[in-house]
């Protein structure tokens, strides 16, 4: 699948999640640190189901289709922010390991 830049119209941000911070009452809270902004296409559940054939089931998953990000190691301690909402990265697919495009399978963080 070729990258169609016109479809990547959603401005997103990649954040590092630090989960060991505490608020004034001692409750654990997540702190987010900006890693980099990026443009992405947001795939519907049906589009993602056709595209991602990993066999894993994420019922409330949102899939972000974006360009490859050189120099950024995408791990589960990262999150995507879109329209003020954070989405925890559950899985990353680099089709055919060509380092051209990525599919970030995420779930809404609570």
- pLDDT tens-digit map of 15-25: 999 988 888 89
Global pTM value: 0.83
- pLDDT tens-digit map of 79-92: 999 999 999 999 99
Number of domains the chain contains = 1
Domain extent for 33: 5-108
Distance of alpha carbon 36 from alpha carbon 20, whole angstroms: 22
The per-residue pLDDT for 12 is 98
Check which CATH number belongs to the domain holding 71 and give it: 2.40.10.270
What phi-psi label fits residue 99: left (phi over 0), alpha (psi between -120 and 50 degrees) or beta? left
């Amino acid at each position: 699948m070729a990258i169609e830049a016109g479809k990547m119209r959603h401005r997103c941000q990649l954040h590092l999640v630090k989960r060991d911070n505490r608020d004034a009452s001692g409750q654990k809270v997540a702190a987010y640190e900006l890693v980099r902004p990026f443009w992405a296409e947001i795939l519907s559940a049906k589009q993602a189901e056709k595209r991602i054939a990993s066999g894993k089931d994420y019922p409330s998953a949102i899939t972000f289709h974006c360009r490859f990000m050189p120099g950024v190691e995408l791990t589960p301690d990262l999150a995507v922010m879109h329209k003020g909402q954070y989405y925890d990265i559950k899985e990353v697919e680099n089709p055919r390991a060509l380092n051209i495009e990525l599919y970030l399978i995420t779930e809404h963080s609570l």
